[in-house]
């Protein structure tokens, strides 16, 4: 049971970085960033290539920078080029597929079995913790704490407030002499750097990267985000961020337990889609229920 | 201080929905003017405000503010010197953010990476207390929980916290109940007086249009057809105004809401 929870914890922590990215873009900026899948893979590819070339620490920075660039292009398309926000994400996703294979030198799979990664770097230090391999947990936890703390502080700065206001009422932002184009670009750059970091860490923890590593990530992360929101409903920013991480962990835990009960692994994406549908449609259907009930009653008469 | 030279704006040109909303309109506003603007629905009052605030660029003509040509300046840059309030109290504030956060964004002090300082908090609280609405004890509540009047008063404070050169008020009290409306209007006049603001006010209250401020403009069909100030304005009644409108425009003023409220307060 303990290895099971440990795996859930590791994967939950690593993917919670993507969930935090969506918390910023989807919950705060009110942009549904569909380039998440491609950006996740981009982070994984860039991280892997740099790590294979012998720079495990640099790989983290390189992956995040790649995420920033990807976020910038997505934001630029929707704010300056007149491309619809959803379409901009889909286009980026398609474009990134080619870019990612290009980064991996034309191959759709890279192996890092003998590569020095951030995880293997730390392993030598954490070896004395007995039978459990804790290096993944240590690094993933550190990354999540760093990103969560950054996000918490960032959202209280003036630019953070402006990003929240852009998602809330762009008209008010303009009349406060702030350019909503600028806030959207900054917001998506930051959120995509988290997504790329998430991809980079996942690739290095499983010692391989393939072109499909990020597929469905946006739905999985949205599911986690919405699960987290049902568990923690608070107005306090710190608790909202904590709830986001909790959601990612609960999602992974439920999934891991379901695997234990012989749910085939390929069901992951179906399950996460169903969760997202329920989380989004639930409140809508609930609000429609009285209307439905009245129609039903009339039919009975 | 505001010089509008011959501006025109046509919406949906070349389609069946083509609408010439402004037709070569010119206007000179003096510093410290408090101008009331009246006119029927579709006369172009709000379009004029949108043109001044930069919501769209005009097709022709120039707009100068304090001698500076702002015709092509983007909206968010103009917002530094032009404050604006809408009829809808929901438009001017971010509902999920607190009173303090909304005000701090409008105040815009400090760098992009700075947080709201203790001093700023105290300053904002002090300012909010001046509204006499008890909001100073709710600085952390989301603005979405406030009433329409409270939100409009807050929006007024946000628009004037850094005194703008020009304040545009687009029927900003029309959606409020009469008592709140009077209170917000009183607050507006006080703010304008204290900060020596130049104001343009769209109103549907013909009586108020003749009594508040120092100048009354009447718009019809995308242009200004009456510009009344000084002695001529002092002796004028609502009936005189309606008659002048009819002679000038050749048709009867067809704004029900305006006619219904012409003798109110």
pLDDT computed for residue A34 by the predictor: 96
Strand order in the sheet with B60-65: B19-29, B2-11, B60-65, B68-69
pTM score of the predicted model: 0.90
pLDDT computed for residue A102 by the predictor: 97
CA distance B97 to B103: 10
pLDDT computed for residue B240 by the predictor: 87
For residues B24-54, b (16+ Cβ closer than 10 Å) or e, as one string?
ebebebeeebbbbbbbbebbbbbbbbbbbbb
In angstroms and rounded to an integer, the radius of gyration of the C-alpha atoms of chain A is 20
How many domains does chain B divide into? 1
Is residue B48 included in any domain, yes or no? Answer: yes
pLDDT at B261 over 70: no
pLDDT (tens digit per residue) in A53-85? 999 999 999 999 999 999 999 999 999 999 999
* Minimum distance, in Å, between the CA of residue A258 and any CA atom of chain B: 37
pLDDT at B82 over 60: yes
DSSP state of B116: P
Contact flag A171-B113 (C-beta cutoff 8 Å): no
Domains annotated for chain A, with CATH where assigned, are 2-269 (1.10.3470)
Is residue B50 included in any domain, yes or no? Answer: yes
Mean pLDDT of successive 10-residue segments in chain A (301 residues)?
81 94 96 97 97 95 98 97 96 97 95 89 67 81 96 95 95 91 97 98 94 93 91 89 93 84 86 86 89 89 77
Which helix (H) or strand (E) element contains residue B170? strand B166-170
CATH classification of the domain holding B7: 3.40.50.300
Q: Does A158 touch chain B (CB under 8 A)?
A: yes
Is residue B34 included in any domain, yes or no? Answer: yes
Q: B255 versus B1: which is more confidently predicted?
A: B1
pLDDT at B262 over 60: no
Contact flag A164-B76 (C-beta cutoff 8 Å): no
* Minimum distance, in Å, between the CA of residue A135 and any CA atom of chain B: 34
Is residue B89 included in any domain, yes or no? Answer: yes
Contact flag A178-B76 (C-beta cutoff 8 Å): yes
CA distance A198 to A21: 9
pLDDT at B61 over 80: yes
Report strand pairing: B2-11 vs B60-65: antiparallel
* Minimum distance, in Å, between the CA of residue B253 and any CA atom of chain A: 32
Q: How much is the average pLDDT of B144-167?
A: 93
Nearest Cα residue in chain A from B113:
A157
DSSP state of B40: -
pLDDT computed for residue A147 by the predictor: 97
Residues in B touching A169 (Cβ below 8 Å): 90-91, 93-95
Is residue B115 included in any domain, yes or no? Answer: no
Q: Does B102 touch chain A (CB under 8 A)?
A: yes
Contact flag B91-A165 (C-beta cutoff 8 Å): no
pLDDT (tens digit per residue) in B213-248? 899 999 988 999 989 988 888 888 888 888 888 888
In sequence order, what DSSP letters do the residues of chain A get, joined into one string?
A: -HHHHHHHHHHHHHHHHHHHHHIIIIIIS----TTHHHHHHHHHHHHHHHHHTT-HHHHHHHHHHHHHHHHHHHHHHHHHS---HHHHHHHHHHHHHHHHHHHTTT-SEEE-TTS--HHHHHHHHHGGGTTS--HHHHHHHHHHHHHHHHHHHHTTBHHHHHHHHHHH-HHHHHHTT--HHHHHHHHHHHHHHHHHHHHHHHHHHTTEEETTTTTTHHHHHHHHHHHHHHH---S-HHHHHHHHHHHHHHHHHHHHHHHHTT--GGGHHHHHHHHHHHHHHHHHHHHHHHHHHHHHHHHH-
Beta bridge partners of B82: B166
Is residue B137 included in any domain, yes or no? Answer: no
Tokens of B117: 């300082």
Is residue B53 included in any domain, yes or no? Answer: yes
pLDDT computed for residue B230 by the predictor: 86
Is residue B16 included in any domain, yes or no? Answer: yes
Q: Indicate the SS3 state at residue B235.
A: coil
Give the residue among B22, B65, B170, B257 at the shortest CA–CA distance from A171: B170
Supply the range of the domain harboring residue B228.
Answer: 2-94+164-260
CA distance A186 to A204: 27
Q: Does B105 touch chain A (CB under 8 A)?
A: yes
CA distance A236 to A234: 5
pLDDT at B32 over 50: yes
Which helix (H) or strand (E) element contains residue B172? none
Averaged pLDDT of chain B:
89
Q: Does B250 touch chain A (CB under 8 A)?
A: no
CA distance B255 to B203: 12
């Amino acid at each position: 049971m303990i290895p099971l929870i440990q795996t859930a914890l590791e994967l939950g922590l690593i993917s919670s970085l993507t969930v935090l990215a969506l918390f910023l873009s989807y919950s705060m900026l009110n942009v549904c960033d569909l380039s998440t899948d491609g950006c996740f893979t981009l982070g994984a590819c860039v991280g892997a290539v740099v790590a294979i070339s012998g720079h495990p620490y640099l790989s983290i920075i390189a992956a995040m920078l790649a995420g920033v660039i990807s976020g910038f292009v997505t934001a630029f398309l929707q704010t300056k080029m007149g491309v619809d926000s959803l379409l901009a994400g889909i286009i980026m996703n398609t474009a990134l597929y080619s870019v990612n294979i290009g980064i991996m030198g034309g191959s759709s799979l890279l192996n890092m079995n003998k590569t020095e990664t951030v995880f293997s770097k730390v392993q030598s230090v954490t070896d004395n913790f007995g039978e459990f391999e804790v290096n993944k947990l240590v690094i993933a936890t550190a990354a999540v704490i760093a990103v969560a703390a950054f996000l918490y502080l960032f959202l209280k700065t003036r630019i953070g407030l402006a990003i929240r206001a852009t998602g809330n009422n762009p008209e008010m932002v303009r009349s406060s002499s702030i350019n909503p184009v600028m806030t959207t670009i900054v917001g998506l750059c930051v959120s995509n750097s988290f997504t790329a970091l998430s991809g980079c860490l996942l690739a290095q923890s499983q010692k391989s990267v393939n072109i499909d590593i990020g597929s469905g990530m946006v739905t999985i992360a949205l599911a986690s985000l919405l699960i987290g929101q049902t568990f923690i409903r608070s107005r306090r920013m710190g608790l909202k961020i904590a709830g986001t991480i909790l959601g990612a962990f609960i999602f992974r835990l439920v999934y891991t337990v379901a695997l234990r009960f012989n749910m085939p692994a390929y069901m992951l994406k179906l399950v996460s889609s169903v969760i997202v549908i329920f989380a989004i449609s639930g409140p809508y259907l609930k609000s429609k229920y009285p209307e439905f009930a009245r129609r039903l009653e009339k039919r009975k008469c | 201080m505001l010089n509008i030279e011959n501006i025109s704006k046509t919406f949906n040109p070349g389609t069946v929905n083509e609408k010439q909303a402004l037709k070569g309109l010119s206007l000179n506003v003096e510093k410290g003017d408090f101008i009331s603007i009246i006119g029927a629905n579709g006369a172009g009052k709000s379009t004029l405000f949108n043109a001044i605030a930069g919501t769209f660029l005009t097709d022709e003509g120039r707009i100068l503010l304090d001698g500076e040509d702002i015709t092509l300046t983007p909206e968010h840059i103009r917002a530094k010197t032009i404050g604006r309030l809408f009829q809808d109290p929901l438009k001017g504030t971010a509902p999920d953010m607190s009173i303090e956060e909304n005000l701090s964004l409008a105040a815009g002090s400090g760098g992009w990476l700075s947080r709201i300082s203790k001093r700023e908090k105290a300053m904002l609280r002090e300012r909010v207390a001046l509204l006499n609405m008890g909001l100073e004890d709710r600085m952390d509540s989301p603005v979405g929980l406030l009433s329409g009047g409270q939100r409009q008063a807050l929006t007024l404070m946000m628009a004037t916290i850094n005194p703008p050169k020009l304040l545009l008020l687009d029927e900003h009290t029309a959606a409020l109940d009469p008592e709140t409306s009077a209170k917000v209007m009183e607050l507006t006049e006080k703010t304008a007086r204290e900060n020596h603001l130049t104001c343009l006010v769209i109103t549907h209250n013909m009586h108020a249009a003749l009594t508040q401020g120092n100048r009354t403009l009447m718009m019809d069909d995308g242009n200004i057809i009456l510009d009344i100030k000084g002695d001529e304005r002092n002796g004028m009644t609502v009936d005189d105004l309606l008659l002048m409108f009819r002679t000038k425009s050749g048709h009867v003023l067809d704004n029900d809401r305006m006619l219904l409220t012409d003798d109110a307060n």
